Structure 1
């Protein structure tokens, strides 16, 4: 199946507060589904009304710079959504308990990322990720952490060929 990608670009992302759930394993596993439900339920319980995309940062077997699309059982993930103001740790923790997942409030530092838009099934992201990492290397930068996927379409209502996912890699200069 053919997927296309947009040209990679560098983007500066601002600092922001996010709600997160950390876990391991494949996205088809119950823990992943529970984490997604809890994030959106806590966000709504805190007063958020607008729709926001789910974001997931992925690494492999505890190595933040490794990721194997073919071995999802070894994935370590952090799912996140923007936190509504004025979320505070106590209200997030209380709401998270009600929805059955350890939801945390974290401050995400400002950062520069390389990103591109992947179109098509998640299983076909390999060439898009390779293009993104190659773009980072050609620019004389290095990955500064795990890649993040920003899900712009809902996989429960969008055919796989029409899925759109922003792939992002945080970057830094050579040390």
Structure 2
């Protein structure tokens, strides 16, 4: 493995690069992106999560924007490892990236609010991950700890520490039942 002095961070990635990652952990740079977000708490796939994801997709549809993969930024408010914290205590920002130049979401949010009250919580936000370690995780979410350990090894070898929320980009449908078809980008901002 190359040292931090020898390894270069891949250049900032545009829209296409946002949804790409290598099978091995790598250092990349991601600039600012804007999109729709909802913040909440609860287990992945639980009622609050599903209601929030549905609200995001409804507002995205009302905007007439192209559908993109769902993303999640995750954390726990606990000193323990997230894997030791009950999943109903997990916190998240669910996110759908908008095309560059989307000015406002107010009309689209108002359009869907009457039929979907959770849409009132949808916000137009910007995120900047900056320098990250990322990897393409193949397989079920329950196998993510092995991919995260590989990312942690690269961070340790490069003298990097986490600097921001754990970020996941769900390239396959989160409801996919065949583990062989599941593809998720795991991304950790670092410094």
2:147 matched residue in structure 1? 128
Aligned 8 A contact 2:78 2:85 in 1:
no
- Structure exhibiting the larger radius of gyration computed from Cα positions: 2
Distance in 1 separating the partners of 2:164 and 2:76: 12
Q: Secondary structure at the match of 1:143?
A: coil
Q: CA deviation at 1:135?
A: 1.2
1:76 matched residue in structure 2? 91
Greater CA deviation, 17-26 or 134-143?
134-143
1:34 matched residue in structure 2? 51
Distance in 2 separating the partners of 1:76 and 1:29: 12
Aligned 8 A contact 2:56 2:95 in 1:
yes
TM-score after normalising by structure 1: 0.84
Aligned residues: 166
Q: Secondary structure at the match of 1:52?
A: coil
Instruction: Please point out which of 149, 165, 175 is paired with 1:146.
Output: 165
Q: CA deviation at 1:163?
A: 0.4
Aligned 8 A contact 1:96 1:103 in 2:
no
Matching of residue 57 in structure 1 with residue 47 in structure 2: no
Q: CA deviation at 1:100?
A: 2.4
| Structure with a larger share of its residues in helix | 2
Distance verdict in 2 for CA 1:74–1:36, change over 3 Å: same
Distance in 1 separating the partners of 2:167 and 2:23: 16
| Structure with a larger share of its residues in strand | 1
Distance in 1 separating the partners of 2:35 and 2:156: 29
Pairwise CA RMSD of aligned residues? 2.3
